Amino acid sequence: MKAILIIADGLGGRPTDYNGKTCLEAAKTPYLDDLAARGAVGLMDPIGPGICPGSDTAHLSILGQNPHKVYTGRGAFEALGIGMEMAPGDIGFRANFATVEPTPEGLRVLDRRAGRISTGQKELEAAINSIKLNDVPDVDFEFRVSTQHRGALVLRGNGLCRYVSGTDPKQEGKIIGTSHPTVVGNIDAQRTAVALNELTKKSYEVLCDHPINHRRTDAGKSPANILLSRGAADLPVFQSLTSIYGVQGAVLALGALYRGIGRALGMKMITLIDDTNSLDEDLAAIAKMAVAALREFDYLFIHIKGPDNAAHDKDAIAKIAMIERIDSELIAYLTSQVDWKTTHLAFTGDHTTPIEYGDHTAEPVPIIFVGPNVLSDKVKEFHERAAAEGGLGRFSGQALPILFNYNNWAPKFGT
Amino acid sequence: MKAILIIADGLGGRPTDYNGKTCLEAAKTPYLDDLAARGAVGLMDPIGPGICPGSDTAHLSILGQNPHKVYTGRGAFEALGIGMEMAPGDIGFRANFATVEPTPEGLRVLDRRAGRISTGQKELEAAINSIKLNDVPDVDFEFRVSTQHRGALVLRGNGLCRYVSGTDPKQEGKIIGTSHPTVVGNIDAQRTAVALNELTKKSYEVLCDHPINHRRTDAGKSPANILLSRGAADLPVFQSLTSIYGVQGAVLALGALYRGIGRALGMKMITLIDDTNSLDEDLAAIAKMAVAALREFDYLFIHIKGPDNAAHDKDAIAKIAMIERIDSELIAYLTSQVDWKTTHLAFTGDHTTPIEYGDHTAEPVPIIFVGPNVLSDKVKEFHERAAAEGGLGRFSGQALPILFNYNNWAPKFGT
């Protein structure tokens, strides 16, 4: 048996999206409708009713974890997702190059994306990694770039702690933050904040003087003259899905977060050809890679970021178009290529991202399960309103365990 | 007011059961359909979405407990269910006579059921109970047979622990196991394993020499020449249902596990005439006993094992026939005999057991509630697909508290 879980990020919508319809209602999705007709649909609260999910917590819940118990932050998954190693006690951060200028109040952020830098980042990474930290003994670090201005930072050493604030003010025009403990009286948090502050200060020193930034400035581009960090997290200890279910899967995702969560749970990360993580995702290529990977792995977790990006941009037309591309390029190909006698597939979103609001909200998202062991229901369309009439009712997260159960992979709790 | 909870074990099914239908869909169940028409239906995840239930954990959840918190194992309930006493610190096991033969590797299991021994077990029980344990000071034990080769074992004494493996290899042709601690560095677990291993070894010695086994061998039957144990458990401390709800109930079940769980929660165990715990259950007799017991008790928990046995045997015809017998012999009689002005009834399964797979799976099971305080819905049939359209939606376990609430027995949480 094979299993496929597809998460379309930010899939859910509201009637304010587009002429009284959600984007998913407005989109033409004949292949998803066909899956709905053959399978069963329902509504899934990504974490629980009324809980507004982050991308990280939603995915943990959908993949079978309880984020209230295991979630420590995003940085560790970001680091794992770009291939870095995280040992117990290491603290991971999301980190990105930015452009800052000195002011009497401190360093002010001019561009959080350093002009969307696209060349020379590896040299800047090397410059960062040559920094020596002196303020805190025995703390080591590693920075790695991923795409454009993005990357991850890992602090290593004894006596580190995730309870520290980041340095990224998350808004242009603001002064960069000083990391400080977010709990009182924790010496490890103090050490961690001191180390991060020293690294941030020294990153400004080495990057300001870097030849790449001189060239960028000469060319009228924003220099990547500081490394900003956020999302401090150590890695939760998970029982791997392989040890629980006895099967080996893989994650097919562009975003580091989703790759990292999959890796933390024991999935292999499939290398992708593109790194844009945006509306430009080459869905036809992803569909072909999925079918090929399905020969090697027992299950696949496929993540598509596009609908969420369009919704954060408050662009209904783009979100509808992205959903229609998922239908016609990914779902259509899988429908024709998958052996439906031996495969169960689930399709859903990780949360709602309404167009008018442009950020995550807590409504349940529609979900399809299809395959030989699924009791079909009467619903023949796939969107929020149709899913409310489906045979699966309403439940919270756990889509991957539910999918695996259809493959008879679920271990018995008790006897 | 009176309340009746009926659990048909392994009731749920899949479209692969029988010509695209579940066994419950395929079965003719006019009396259950009538209850559905008068009451409300829904889908219940026995424990939670995607969690594959054991019989023990499912029943704990359906009867109002959280098995993630209270479940310790099966052995204690098995012991309670055949009338043995379990004090705090005692460790209960499922135990059964088996036939083994000596080999260079150890004792090899020839028949896990000792030829389904049906006479002489009480004498063998006495032989077991005459054994003196010497390897561990201050450990006492008691073994009791229940039906055929089955029974339960209780170890008693200070410093015992449930974290030990059993000796039953659970498969014929295999060498019997040596009990060992399943956690590291626990002295109590070591003591418990040593005591169980000594008892197992001595059971072989006394049973091999027993006249009953000489006669069995002479008659060409498999001797019951060892006692094998599994499912170590101490008894969780429950608040009795009587103290929570102020009512006294009884359990009407053939299986020791179900009787034991009921007893652990404060129910009285009703003596049954038959001990086969199989498809042969005399449902008409059980129906009459239920109606009689309802005069004495406030509520009844009735457990019918048959559908699960048929499904484990992958026999769709037998499962359908068993469901139809439940309908025509048990439900029909209760429908005609119960005072529906003062009675609420719930009917459901403890888990899904699909025919093709032959073991438990995690899908939600259909459930009916009927009685004067139940808001009826539009559904007029009782099966998985119809229940998905019912007025109760989808929820997890807790059928007994929901049933008691209709009788106005539920205590207020807060003021």
Which tens digit of pLDDT belongs to each residue from A298-308?
Answer: 999 999 999 99
Q: Give me the pLDDT at residue B260, please.
A: 97
Comparing A112-116, A247-251, A344-348, the range with the smallest average pLDDT is A112-116
Interface touch B50/A410, C-beta < 8 Å? yes
Mean pLDDT of B302-317: 96
Q: What is the average per-residue pLDDT within B307-313?
A: 96
Summarised one tens digit per residue, pLDDT across range B351-390 is 999 999 999 999 999 999 999 999 999 999 999 999 999 9
Whole-angstrom distance, CA of residue A411 vs CA of residue A402: 12
Per-residue pLDDT tens digits for B290-300 = 999 999 999 99
Checking if the pLDDT of A276 tops 60, the result is no
Is residue A388 predicted with pLDDT exceeding 60? yes
Going by pLDDT thresholds of 50, 70 and 90, the confidence category of residue B268 is: very high
User: Which CATH architecture best describes the domain A2-71+238-406?
Assistant: 3-Layer(aba) Sandwich (3.40)
Cβ distance of B74 and A390 shorter than 8 Å: no
- Average pLDDT value for chain B: 96
Q: Provide long-range contacts, Cβ within 8 A and 24+ apart, for A274-279.
A: A275/A146, A275/A147, A276/A147, A277/A147, A277/A305, A278/A305, A278/A306, A278/A309, A279/A306, A279/A309, A279/A310, A279/A318, A279/A322
Q: Which of B323, B310, B293 is nearest to B353 (CA)?
A: B310
Q: Pull the structure tokens for residue A131.
A: 């920094």
* Predicted confidence (pLDDT) at residue A137 exceeds the cutoff of 90: no
- A391–B385 C-beta distance less than 8 A: yes
pLDDT in tens, B335-352: 999 999 999 999 999 999
pLDDT at B103 over 80: yes
Predicted confidence band at B282 (pLDDT cuts at 50, 70, 90)? Answer: confident
Q: Where are the beta strands (DSSP E) in A305-361?
A: 343-349
Residues 6 or more apart in contact with residue B265 via CB below 8 angstroms: B63, B64, B65, B238, B240, B241
Q: Which residues contact A356 (CB under 8 A, 6 or more apart)?
A: A14, A16, A17, A314
Please state whether B23 falls in left (phi above 0), alpha (psi between -120 and 50) or beta: alpha
When pLDDT is cut at 50, 70 and 90, the band that residue B147 belongs to is confident
Q: What is the pLDDT of residues A85-101, one digit of tens each?
A: 999 999 999 999 999 99
User: How sure is the predictor about A185, in pLDDT bands with cuts at 50, 70 and 90?
Assistant: very high
**pLDDT bracket for residue B283 (50, 70, 90):** very high
Half-sphere exposure of A213 (CA within 13 A, CB side): 21
pLDDT at A274: 54
Q: Which of B50, B354, B364 sits opposite A398 (nearest CB)?
A: B50
> Residue A252 and residue A247: Cα distance in Å, rounded?
16
* Percent of chain B residues topping a pLDDT of 90: 96
Write phi, then psi, for B161 (nearest 5 degrees). -155, 145
Task: Give chain B positions within 8 Å (CB) of A414.
Answer: 53-58, 67, 71, 74
Q: What is the mean pLDDT of residues B230-246?
A: 96
Percent of chain A at pLDDT > 70 equals: 98
Domain with CATH 3.40.720.10 in chain A: 2-71+238-406
Question: Do B344 and B407 form a contact (C-beta atoms < 8 A)?
Answer: yes
DSSP type of residue B175: B
To 10 degrees, what angle do helices A121-129 and A211-218 make?
140
Name every chain B residue with its beta carbon within 8 A of the beta carbon of A376. 15
Partnered with residue B295 across adjacent β-strands are none
Q: Do B50 and A401 touch (CB under 8 A)?
A: yes
Half-sphere exposure of A183 (CA within 13 A, CB side): 10
Neighbours of B180 (CB within 10 A): 14
CA distance B267 to A23: 54
Question: End-to-end CA distance of chain B, in Å?
Answer: 24
| A136 pLDDT higher than 80 | yes
Minimum Cα–Cα distance from B356: chain A residue:
A373
Three-state DSSP at A391 gives coil
Q: Which residue of A has its CA nearest to B362?
A: A405
Reply yes or no on whether the pLDDT at A357 is more than 60. Answer: yes
Mutate to test the interface with A, among B162, B363, B381, B396 (most CBs of A within 10 A): B363
Inform me whether the pLDDT recorded for B275 exceeds 60. no
Q: Which residue has the tokens 């410059």?
A: A127
Q: Inter-chain contact B56–A373, Cβ cutoff 8 Å?
A: no
CA–CA separation, B30 and A69 (whole Å):
46
SS3 content of chain B, % helix, strand, coil (to 5): 35, 20, 45
Mean pLDDT of chain A: 96
| CB spacing of A372 vs B15 below 8 angstroms | yes
Reported as a single tens digit per residue, the pLDDT across B155-168 is: 999 999 999 999 99
- Which one, of A257, A250, A252, lies nearest residue A233 by Cα? A257
Q: What percent of chain A has pLDDT over 90?
A: 95
**CA nearest to A379 within chain B:** B389
pLDDT one-digit tens code per residue, A290-339: 999 999 999 999 999 999 999 999 999 999 999 999 999 999 999 999 99
Distance, C-alpha A384 to centroid of its chain: 23
- Please tell me the predicted confidence (pLDDT) of residue A281: 78
- Determine phi and psi for A153, rounding to 5 degrees: -125, 135
Residue with tokens 């009788």: B407
Which residue of B54, B363, B389 is in closest CB contact with A413? B54
**Is residue A228 pLDDT above 90, yes or no?**
yes
The contacts of residue A48 (CB under 8 Å, 6+ apart) are A396, A397
Residues of chain A with C-beta less than 8 angstroms from the C-beta of B311: none
Per-residue model confidence (pLDDT) at position B279: 59
Q: Determine the average pLDDT of the residues in B312-338.
A: 97
Q: DSSP letters along B346-378, please?
A: EEEESSB--TTT-S-B---EEEEEESTTS---S
- Rounded CA gap, A168 and A228, in Å? 5
Residues of B with CB under 8 A from a CB of A: 14-16, 22, 42-43, 45, 47-58, 67, 71, 74, 231, 354, 357, 359-364, 384-385, 388-389, 393-394
Please, what's the b/e burial string for A145-157 (b: 16 or more CB within 10 A of its CB; e: otherwise)?
bbbbbbbbbbbbb
Buried b (16+ CB within 10 A) or exposed e, A274-294: eeebebebebeebbebbbebb
DSSP strand E in A176-263: where? 226-233, 249-253
Q: What is the model's pLDDT at position B271?
A: 81
Secondary-structure breakdown of chain A: helix, strand, coil percentages, each rounded to the nearest 5: 35, 20, 45
**Residue A273 pLDDT > 80:** no
A57: amino acid identity, one letter = T
Residue B276 pLDDT level (bands cut at 50, 70, 90): low
pLDDT band (50, 70, 90) for residue A278: low
Instruction: Name the closest residue on chain B to residue A389, using Cα atoms.
Output: B389
User: How many helices (DSSP H) and strands (DSSP E) are in chain A?
Assistant: 16, 14
Residue of chain A minimizing CA distance to B75: A415
What residue type is assigned to position B158 of the chain? N
pTM attached to this predicted model: 0.94
Bridge partners, B106 (sequence order): B103
- Confirm if A188 and A89 have CB atoms less than 8 A apart: no
